[in-house]
Structure 1
Amino acid sequence: MAIRRSAGLLVHRMTDDAGLQMLLGHMGGPLWARKDAGAWSVPKGEYTEEEAPLDAAVREFTEELGAPPPPGPYTSLGEIRQSGGKHVTVWAVGGDFDPAALRPGTFTMEWPPRSGRRQEFPELDRVGWFAPEEARGKLVKAQGAFVDRLLEHLG
């Protein structure tokens, strides 16, 4: 079985009142609707071997948020393996994004299960800015490593 791979961008900013903040997306769809802790992610998506991971990260940011990402420079935060086996590679980039500007891409799934009905849901149903400690509690567990790596990079 082939390894599933995703790539994403962790946008961060420094504010006078809140300090360092990171942009995270809450996963859309009915499986995540009532969850908060562990239901947020770095904006990311899957790619194939034919696509460069950074190109995929930029493409997925645009698809998931409906706006292009900050222009860079991009700093590699490496790769992690999530509990389901997916390998996720992330780059950090300084920038800003207004959560009200979210225009998410969508996906279709059978819902309710075994109903035969297909429904469309947003890939991300909301985005928000979070300080590092809060981000760790919101992120899918394995992605918390990217918070630590960003803090290490920023010194």
Structure 2
Amino acid sequence: MRLIISTLILISNLTLFSQSINFYGDYYRSLGKEGVHFIEYKLTLNQDGTFIFHSYSNNKQGIPPEVNKYGKGKWIAKDKVITFFSNKQKDFDEKYTLDFNNSKARFVTKHPRDKTDRIIKPKLQFFESEIFWIKTIDIFKI
């Protein structure tokens, strides 16, 4: 009887320490200064496994000065790597033109064993994509 109770207590304690990461939510990053050259990235990961991405660029010396780019599709998470997929028939139209196929991002956060006072904002760090300008973007969770 003691063995069964001890085993149940051990299993319940192990489940308390297991970690479930909530990847879904809104991510945002802005670069530059408004009025000169400003870039803004917004990414929403929905609980149902879909995502929407918006990139806004305002470069006063660019042609055209304002550029909006959109992408959407599905995402899956394995460990701390998120893989993005876009269906060419469903996810592309005149507004949504970015192809996120073969795009991957790593979810970066403070390690649970890190007991220091440093603050590490959760972020997605893209490391693989066929969209050349997205490969090195870090986009922070709001």
**TM superposition score normalised by structure 1:** 0.24
Which protein is richer in helix relative to its size? 1
**TM superposition score normalised by structure 2:** 0.25
Larger radius of gyration between Structure 1 and Structure 2: 2
